[in-house]
Amino acid sequence: MVKQLIEKLKGIKGKIMQPKEGGSSEEFVELEPIPKKPAAKIYCEKYTLEEFEDVKYILNALRTGYVITIINIKPLAEKSRVELQRAINKIKKTTETLDGQVIAIDEDWVIAAPGFVEIRKGQKGSVE
């Protein structure tokens, strides 16, 4: 009985392993490579501080970890220096928590960036 079962299995194996018409017993299926998932995108977003409450939008963007913020502080500076200082301090604290940087470009613009971004002051005529 075992011999009969083995013979039947060999017969089934032979039918399965027979080459198809025009092919060989060792056919290969060509597979397309699986594309790698692209790395997370980095965004650069511009904000305008018109009042202290606008800080929350900037902080939410920074907390995502993929946003470099360019902030126009002139409207708030013209309204209230005290509110501007509060807003800048809040942005600095959050950015420091994220190991990031906050720098002033000039008296009207500030950049806040997450920790993976290094902001350096450029020198005339030097390119690294």
Locus of tokens 């509110």: 83
Q: What gap in Å lies between CA 94 and CA 113, rounded to an integer?
A: 11
Q: Model confidence at 128, in pLDDT bands (50, 70, 90)?
A: low
Alpha carbon 87 to its chain centroid, in Å, reads 26
pLDDT at 24: 56
User: Global pTM?
Assistant: 0.64
- CA dist 32 and 7 (Å) reads 39
User: For residue 44, what is the DSSP state?
Assistant: E
pLDDT cut 70: percent of the chain above it: 80
What CATH homologous superfamily does 43-113 map to? Answer: SepF-like protein (3.30.110.150)
- The DSSP bridge pattern shows strands 43-48 and 109-113 to be unpaired
Which helix (DSSP H) or strand (DSSP E) does residue 113 occupy?
strand 109-113
Q: Residue 7: count other Cβ atoms within 10 Å of its Cβ.
A: 10
Return the pLDDT at 21: 59
Residue 58 corresponds to which tokens in the numbers above?
Answer: 């900037």
- What are the tens digits of pLDDT across the range 40-85? 689 999 999 999 999 999 999 999 989 999 999 999 999 999 999 9
